Amino acid sequence: MSVWMNSTKTGERVDPFATFKFHVEVDGIEEAVFSECSGLEMATEVFEYQEGGLNEYVHKLPGRTKLSNVTLKKGTAESNYLYQWYHDLEEELLTGAAITRKQVTITLYSTAEPDLEMSWTLNNAFPVKWVGPTFKTAEAAVAIETLEFAHHGIDMD
């Protein structure tokens, strides 16, 4: 088991959060219980500059930061709020209307202390892909729906 050290109290054991207890809110509405979240990722491009006469190293300079799309998976239920948001986006694109962007917040809760949490907020998010469930008569699995979001940055609290 991995152990992190808390910098405020020397030597105190602090366990990392488990990944299974999280909730998703879209513009303050907790829409559904999701089973998976992936793509909370940012990466900065690096440009190399070779300076004439300097053979010891190549300068590395930061460039643009790329933001990955975030993918959420949930069991299909009665609510179709997230599908409707995606469908509304299609209509907005066809009519030339402004795209509806929302704040999507993913909150991870501690299993030991319910008040401890971390959250990631996707700023100006909008859905870019919706995948419906796969059906198999040979399985008794949960019908999983997938929604992928593009966004303009991640704020972490």
From first to last of the 157 residues of the chain, give the pLDDT tens digit: 344 444 455 666 665 555 566 778 888 777 657 788 899 999 999 999 988 887 888 999 999 999 999 998 887 766 778 888 889 999 999 999 999 999 999 888 777 666 667 889 999 999 999 998 888 888 777 788 888 999 999 999 8
- Amino acid at site 45: E
CA–CA dist 45, 49 (Å, integer) = 13
- Tell me the pTM: 0.74
Decide if 123 contacts 153 (C-beta within 8 A).
yes
| Radius of gyration of the chain from its Cα atoms, rounded to whole angstroms | 21
